[in-house]
Structure 1
Amino acid sequence: MTSPDTTIDFAAVRTAGADLRRGPRPAVAARELSTGGTGEPYTRLAPVPCGATIGAEIPGIDLSRPLDDAVLAELRRALLEYKVLFFRDQDLTADRHAAFARHWGEPQIHPFLPKAGRPEVVRLAHDADAPGVENIWHSDASFTGTPPFGSILRAVEVPDIGGDTMWADMAAAYDGLPDDVRTAIDGLTATHDFTQSFGRLMTGEQLAEARRAYPPVRHPVVRTIPETGRKLIYVNSVFTARIDGVGEADGADLLDILTDQARHPEYQVRFRWEPGSVAFWDNRITQHYALCDYYPRPRVMERVTITGDRPR
């Protein structure tokens, strides 16, 4: 953690931040177009890339059936390379959904969201009576000490128009930062807290109880994926409350600059849902944004998150 008296040239950071609002410069973006893949050919899968560094559709896989070790190994490699994988025409029940998630780790039970028949399956249902509110860039449950490794979302009912989801590659976003900004954030931590999101809907007593179970946590501002060594920006607009160890105004400006990087289309992929579609993303290296452009049409999704480890 950076101490409060650490010298950071915030004037230079703000100048760089103003330039970053125009989007990544081609010369900067070109220096790190690698997706983090090994370059080895796939023999059991045929990933179809959807974006320059993020997103691939995986055809010909039935997630409701047992998958052998070779297919699972290639799916894990594809997830590390493309960050989010898309599957069409899947026939998953809540039980099958949870079973597929268990290939990657223990499902995490979300403390605040409604469930769909099983404690590990979250139900996200929106219609005219409960409009969607997920249209803000975020990483799932970063307010926990061990945020999810991954999330698996399936479409139960989708609107005929709208309701897409977007993902941002936060490793590519880190690569696109100027050197002085990367130097400034190296070694910093940030506090993550649920109270500015879920806490707004709680009574005082509920909030106090929830804070005892989920107190604010500190995570590195720059996280590293252990399997690939890729560095990424690990702050988000929903759960990151502040940058630690710097002044309030400087920290707020820096947090704005970093969270703003998810908004650049050069780092994004967008997915059009159909009934039975499934998205599986690496929650460590991505942020996502659910478009709420379908109101008052209904949209029903179910999600399982997979327990991760402490960011490092």
Structure 2
Amino acid sequence: MTVTPASATPALRDARVPADGMYEGRRTLRRLPEGTPRLPYERFEIVPQGRVIGAEIRGLDLSQPLSPVLRDELNRALLEWKVLFFRGQGLNSQQQRDFAANWGKLETNPLLERGSSAEVVRFEKGGSAIPTFENVWHADVTFRERPALGAVLQLHEVPPVGGDTMWADMAAAYDNLPDTVKARVDGATAVHDFIPGFARFYGPEKLIPLQEEFPPVEHPVVRRHPETGRRMLFVNTSFTTHIVGMDRDESDRLLSYLVRQAHVPEYQVRFRWQPGDIAFWDNRATQHYAIDDYAPHRRVAERVAIAGDRPF
């Protein structure tokens, strides 16, 4: 038996943590770029739901047209909070489309079940439709050359428990990357493709005819917000296949690390739905996750998406 002399300084044993591990500690949490003036909201009440992301808007009836001044103030709230919640609106499809159209041309999506018009996507869980799965962190339609600016989602039927949706702030995710990782991803591009996300529930007969309409596209791994100028991570589990110029193993390891940043609770907000509630989110700045914990109950939602610009 080895005896340590009483005069010897105890040594800390060697320990190895996994490569690319995530660590506890205080994170940088800011809603807006440094130096942005904090102006009051005068036309509605805003109730924060999280530190950096998510706010409930009170005092508005979204069935009524928006004045240009009100639209601009709501847009300022969207840029600050990234996802806005409106309780009990109960809009019909036309009113939902009209509200979304204040932010631009509306998208159509041939990959998802159609609602009352081509611009309305219907998510019906527990019904007769082909089941899709949104319980993975993702941004919508990043396989498009111009991914969606944002989306307006309304819940029509809500399960008695469960069925929440979560959003993550991808600017906060970028802000907290180690400098060594930022140096690797700034200026890098990645390929996005619709096949990985939809091959989970559609067969080749559905996907092959759409391959020419949606060829693989390259987007920056870190995009700049076109209105705020903030840098944001722009890769996701559903559609990002690889980083250009890296071998497969290196790309897979780096992408795995990057997409895990959405899992950090400090960057998230979670919303418990009631029938008629609306969520309006900035798809450029966020990822979202629809929690699938309510089977066998029904959950019915309709979404209208707003066409966006090419990421840069």
**Is residue 53–residue 269 contact of structure 2 (8 Å, CA) maintained in 1?**
yes
Deviation readout 1:139-175 (Å, 9 max, x if unpaired): 0000000000001000110011000000000000000
**Alpha carbons of structure 1 residues 131 and 111: separation in structure 2 relative to 1, 3 Å:** closer
Distance 1:204 1:302 in 2: 26
Whether the aligned pair in 2 keeps the contact of 1:163 and 1:290 (CA below 8 Å) is yes
User: For 1:98-247, what aligned pairs fall within 5 Å after superposition?
Assistant: 98-127=97-126, 133-247=133-247
Q: Quick one: distance in 2 between partners of 1:116 and 1:241?
A: 30
- Alpha-carbon distance in 2 for matches of 1:220, 1:176: 18
Q: What displacement does 1:176 show?
A: 0.8
| CA distances 1:174-202 after superposition (whole Å, capped 9, x unpaired) | 00111111111011100000111213444
Q: Give unmatched runs, 5+ long, in structure 1.
A: 1-13
Change (3 A) 1:112 1:183: same
2:32 aligns with 35
**Distance in 2 (alpha carbons) for counterparts of 1:254 and 1:190:** 11
**2:31, 2:53 within 8 Å by CA — same for their partners in 1?**
no
Question: Counterpart in 2 of 1:8?
Answer: none
Q: What code does the residue aligned with 2:191 have?
A: T
1:4 corresponding residue in structure 2: none
Give the alignment's TM-score, normalised by structure 2. 0.90
Task: Deviation per CA, 1:256-281: give whole Å up to 9, x if none.
Answer: 00000001111000000000100000
Q: CA deviation at 1:71?
A: 1.0
CA contact (8 A) 1:128 1:295 kept: no
Name the counterpart of 1:251. 251
Distance 1:68 1:60 in 2: 15
2:72 is paired with a residue whose SS is helix
What is the alpha-carbon distance in structure 1 between the residues aligned to residue 49 and residue 240 of structure 2? 29
| Equivalence for 2:11 | none
Give the structure 2 partner of residue 51 of structure 1: 50
The number of equivalent residue pairs is 292
Residue 265 of structure 2 corresponds to which residue in structure 1? 265
The residue number in structure 2 matching 1:71 is 70
Structure 2 residues without counterparts, runs of 5 or longer: 1-17
Runs of 4+, deviation exceeding 3 Å? 34-38, 128-132, 199-206
**Residues of 1 paired with 2:301 and 2:31: CA distance?**
32
1: CA distance between counterparts of 2:106 and 2:229?
25
Contact kept, 8 Å, 2:132 with 2:201, in 1: the verdict is no
Task: Using the TM superposition, give the Cα deviation of residue 208 of structure 1 relative to its aligned residue in structure 2, in angstroms.
Answer: 2.7
Per the TM alignment, residue 38 of structure 1 is displaced from its structure 2 partner at its CA by 3.6
**Does structure 1 retain, via aligned residues, the 8 Å contact 2:153–2:302?**
yes
Structure of larger gyration radius = 2
Equivalents in 2 of 1:93, 1:221: separation in Å? 37
Q: How far apart in 2 are the matches of 1:116 and 1:34?
A: 34
Counterpart residue identity of residue 35, structure 1: L
Contact 2:191/2:217 (CA < 8 Å) preserved in 1? Answer: yes
TM-score of the superposed pair, with normalisation by structure 1: 0.90
Residue 33 of structure 1 aligns with an amino acid whose one-letter code is: R
